[in-house]
Amino acid sequence: MSVSNTVFPENPKWPEEGTSRVPFWAYTREDLYKKELDRLFYNDHWCYVGLDAEIPIAGDFKRTVIGERSVLMVREKDGSIHVVENVCAHRGMAFCRERHGNRDSLTCPYHQWNYSLSGDLQGVPFRRGVKQDGKVNGGMPADFKPSDHNLTKLKVATRGGVVFASFDHDVEPLEDFLGPVILGYFDRLFDGRKLKILGYNRQRIPGNWKLMQENIKDPYHPGLLHTWFVTFGLWRADNKSQLLMDTHHRHAAMVSTRGAAGKAADVTQVSSFKANMELNDPRFLDIVQEPWWGGPTAVMMTVFPSVIFQQQVNSVSTRHIQPDGHGAFDFVWTHFGFEDDSEEMTQRRLQQANLFGPAGFVSADDGEVIEWSQEAFETKPSHRALVELGGREVGDTDHMVTETLIRGMYEYWRKVMEAT
């Protein structure tokens, strides 16, 4: 058998320069996935952990993950926000099991080691031993210092009500990490108004975590795969649009302005267009222009590696990518609004949120195609995906008929992952 024809290569290399052809093994190798965790989630990068509105009062916490490592986002008594790893410094237990709650302090149930809300060790049972029959038995060594055994504390950055954290305390400032282009669209959405949590969706998708980053960097599929988008004109290839990246090509913004044409003849030949589809409840398309939009009706921001910030007309949400092995990830949606929203606007945001999430009119399609892609990747990792719509180069565009954002992401991925 020719080695060049093997389906399961032992030490595969990216076959050529450029990123217009992505090898299937990039989605299937567990050793590569561990390297991704180390280089993309645990070092040199900021990762999303939540919104400060999720922990509004002192003692509130939220349990989440960065990569596969469990962390707690906690509101201290002075109002500051801390992020600590959910691993007891004693015997390593993941001590917090609730997803949300309120505590005066953090206690591991195994041996009752107690920590402040900021992660400082402040209580060790029997630290000085136990008196019995006139003598002291046990206890920690005389040189035991609680300050040497705090919880692992992460570096934290907040902006506009969004909380990021990093295990790497030497990571660049958040604003530099995002870059001026993406930061501008970030500040458009998170403009200083207080946020209001509307609800959550959570789903397990049996696919590689990068496929969701790709999906939201891919303007090719929405007007083809998603019947809802193409039929009701929310996202179409002929919409006025821009595709923008940071200088490293890791983050991106897909910016689209819904046209006034509705069910245009230009898209009736697309199989997902359903001319006879009508809404039983017209409130799903009860779209009201908001002043902060500044024109675009949809902006999808991908901040590599961990989060998507979505504005699709009046629905706004974060989508947190939580990898679990090379072939699965949890996808957590946080739907929000703003404290100064009217009740009518809140109901409108909730109504339009039905487009998204695990059973959303749109997003259910994405989960399925990611699963089916992963199934194929596993059967022939020696093959490759073609990412050549719009050419093979990487750059910003003023149209959506391109896969340039995916090529850009893998340009960055290769730079980081292939570095010695």
Question: Tens digits of per-residue pLDDT, 205-232?
Answer: 999 999 999 999 999 888 787 776 767 7
Residue 261 has pLDDT above 50, yes or no: no
Give residue 129's identity as a one-letter amino acid code: G
Reported as a single tens digit per residue, the pLDDT across 348-407 is 999 999 888 888 777 888 999 999 999 999 999 999 999 999 999 999 999 999 999 999
- Is 268 strand, coil or helix? coil
Task: Label residue 274 by pLDDT band (50, 70, 90).
Answer: low
Give the separation between CA 284 and CA 275, rounded to whole angstroms. Answer: 17
User: How many alpha carbons lie under 13 Å from residue 227 in its C-beta half-sphere?
Assistant: 12
The tokens of 121 are what?
């060790």
**How many residues are there in the chain?**
420
Which residue shows structure tokens 């004109």? 233
Q: Which of 406, 195, 225 is nearest to 317 (CA)?
A: 195
CA distance 235 to 238: 9
Query: Which amino acid would we find at residue 193?
Result: R
* pLDDT tens per residue, range 45-89: 999 999 999 999 999 999 999 999 999 999 999 999 999 999 999
For the stretch 80-126, pLDDT in tens is 999 999 999 999 999 999 999 999 999 999 999 999 999 999 999 99
**Number of continuous H segments (helices) and E segments (strands) in the chain:** 8, 21
Question: What's the mean pLDDT in 323-343?
Answer: 98
Q: What is the pLDDT of residues 154-197, one digit of tens each?
A: 999 999 999 999 999 999 999 999 999 999 999 999 999 999 99
Specify the 3-state DSSP secondary structure of 407: helix
pLDDT digits (tens, 9 = 90+) for 228-238: 676 776 666 67
Tell me the pTM. Answer: 0.94
pLDDT above 50: residue 287 = yes
Q: Which helix (H) or strand (E) holds 83?
A: strand 81-85
Residue 259 contacts residue 287 (beta carbons within 8 Å): no
Domains of the chain (ranges plus CATH)? 47-156 (2.102.10.10), 179-417 (3.90.380.10)
Provide the residue type at 312 as one letter: Q
- Those residues whose C-beta lies under 8 Å from the C-beta of residue 38, and which sit 6 or more positions away, are none
HSE (side-chain half, CA atoms, 13 Å) at 94: 11
Mean pLDDT of the chain: 92
Q: How far apart are the first and last CA of the chain?
A: 32
Q: What is the pLDDT of residue 1?
A: 47
Structure tokens at 289: 């222009």
Share of the chain residues as helix, strand and coil, in percent rounded to the nearest 5: 25, 25, 45
Exposed (0-12), middle (13-18) or buried (19+): which is 173, by Cβ within 10 Å? exposed
- The residue among 144, 146, 88, 102 whose CA lies nearest residue 120 is 146
- The secondary structure element, H or E, covering residue 332 is strand 329-338
In this structure, the dihedral spanned by the alpha carbons of residues 259, 261, 266 and 268, taken in order and rounded to 10 degrees, is: 110
